[in-house]
Amino acid sequence: MKTNKRLSAKSILLLLLSMSLVLVTACSKGDSSSSGESGKDENGNYKDKLKISVASTVTVKDGDMDNEFHKYWMDKYNIEWDYNFVEWDSWGEKLRLWINSGDLPDVAVWDYVHGDAMNYIDQGLLYKFPDDWKERWPNVAKAYSLTGLGDKLEELTGGTYILPRPVYFENKPADPLTNQIGVIAIRKDWAEAVNFELKDAYTTSELMEYARLVKEKDPGKVGSKLVPISYKPDDVLTNIMMPNSAHSRVESAFYKGEDGKYKWGPADPETLTGLKLVQEAYKEGLLNPEFYTWKSSEASNNFRVNGTAAVMSLGGLASYRQDVDKDMKKNLNLNSDDVVHTAIVLGEDGKYRNLEQVNFWSALIFSPDISKEKFERVMDLVDFSVTEEGQMILNMGFEGTDWKYGENKELISLLPEGTSVGDKYPGRFEGLYLLGDDFSMINPAIKQEYRDTAVKHYQNKAKLGKEGGALALYDWDVQLYDSKAKNQATFNYAEEYTNLILQDGDLETNWKKWVESKQSLVQPVLDELNNLKK
């Protein structure tokens, strides 16, 4: 007996309804990116534990993650971290190798380089965000919008592949904004001993005069171990070259002059001024004879650990100043408030020079092979980390244990005086996105005096940079211009300048020869920039 394969109208209707129900059910269990509930159970907890690899420059030692801080984040997001520590000195190179070889961890903090970013995106080496990511993670989107770079990259690439990391979110210290470099620390007690005036700003020549006095009189009685100015090559670039030549660094080397034409800053006479000061300091023994070999913290340790330096590069964050206080108490049994004075560094003409700070530094990137589930889990964490509650936990710990609100809703730290949440919970890499600069302005775990001084330095930079017309404006046309010629004309200026001041012969002659030797690489970039469509 043959069966009748034809279906009645009623049967067809029932079949279609059944298929629709299955489809709706499948969708509800599958992609729920718009609802933000992907991977969660009925109680809002993440169902599956995910092992996620992460790379950052935050030092995490054995046992650092065995505390309630890391447990909080791992439990909240049901994550097992596979942490990869990256040394500062090898940061760029290691990420470059990982990205190009397809070995990038699931999520990583990257020292953003625009030309590399465009190449990575073209080659499919970075994860492309879903089109609706800003609706799904609105807190990240709000912080992202303040960077400027995010929107520019979307215009160039047609999507989102990179999350530039905001420096400031709600606590911007000055306008215009400058970055935190260009602040130094000097031994206040030694300055008083040699009758050197304490000020909020010094020219390099004034700091060199202080170093000469210390070298001559040795007020600290440290003998042959004395390092008058303890700078490594990057510190020299920051605190001697840059104050005198705003366009001597790679970030601002190509710039538009007053005549509307693009120029190369290292060829400017102001750069020679800086070089002469560096060479003078080196030949007089104010810089250590082997300063150019120093890396990481070798230079600053002479000041904060060994107690043998008169001047060091510090940086402008209040948290940096508090770290100096802790180091000097631990290693030298000194109260830094009695022996340390901080100031900004000016050019020989009394002007403050630097590149105007856009509101980002470095970036968060994801492996192109990361699963959708892992990506969403990390983004959920990052989105919470940017909220007020997330920032409080990241920067202050747990309410009632590490901090509390006062009668007037002011923040009160419950940690031992002079310590921070980083001392209690080391290796807090979960602050993957918003930089700590923002919260350091209001963090009560940091001494009020240090926070006030940090704001003062930022405001002095803004005032002396803007009034003197010496602050280099951020030029998006240059920063986002990418070409083979521009990539080839990227130099390690700290090394280049060091080689110049160490060369035999006349410095000015050597500098002119060096400038000429670079023209075959530099001139094509200038030609391209000057021919950009207006």
Tell me, what amino acid is at 122? D
45 lies in some domain? no
On whether the CB atoms of residues 356 and 476 are closer than 8 A, the answer is: no
What is the rounded CA–CA span in Å between residue 214 and residue 189? 11
What is the rounded CA–CA span in Å between residue 56 and residue 435? 13
| Mean pLDDT (10-residue bins), the chain, 534 residues | 40 44 39 51 90 96 92 97 94 96 98 92 97 97 95 95 94 88 96 98 97 98 98 96 94 93 97 98 98 94 98 94 96 98 96 90 97 97 96 95 92 87 93 92 91 96 87 89 92 97 98 98 97 76
Does residue 471 share a domain with residue 333?
A: yes
Residue with tokens 């006030």: 452
Collapsed DSSP state (helix, strand, coil) of residue 402: coil
The CATH number for 125's domain is 3.40.190.10
Does residue 230 share a domain with residue 320?
A: yes
Residue with tokens 């007053």: 258
In the numeric block, which tokens belong to residue 392? 């409080």
List C-alpha distances in Å: 459 to 56, 204, 252, 420. 31, 20, 22, 25
101 lies in some domain? yes
Does residue 70 share a domain with residue 140?
A: yes
Query: What is the structure's pLDDT at 534?
Result: 56
List C-alpha distances in Å: 157 to 127, 161, 163, 167, 251. 13, 9, 13, 23, 22
Does residue 267 share a domain with residue 242?
A: yes
233 lies in some domain? yes
Please write the tens of the pLDDT for every residue from 505-522: 999 999 999 999 999 999
Q: The pTM is what?
A: 0.79
Query: What is the structure's pLDDT at 8?
Result: 46
Q: Which long-range CB contacts under 8 A does 87-94 form with residues at least 24 apart? A: 87/57, 87/296, 88/57, 88/296, 89/295, 89/296, 91/57
Does residue 204 share a domain with residue 89?
A: no
Please write the tens of the pLDDT for every residue from 364-404: 999 999 999 999 999 999 999 999 999 999 999 999 999 99
Range of the domain at 81: 50-164+362-434
169 lies in some domain? no
Cβ neighbours of residue 504 under 8 Å, at least 6 residues apart? none
Q: How many CB atoms lie within 10 A of CB 306?
A: 14
Query: What is the structure's pLDDT at 33?
Result: 38
Which residue among 400, 434, 468 closes a domain? 434
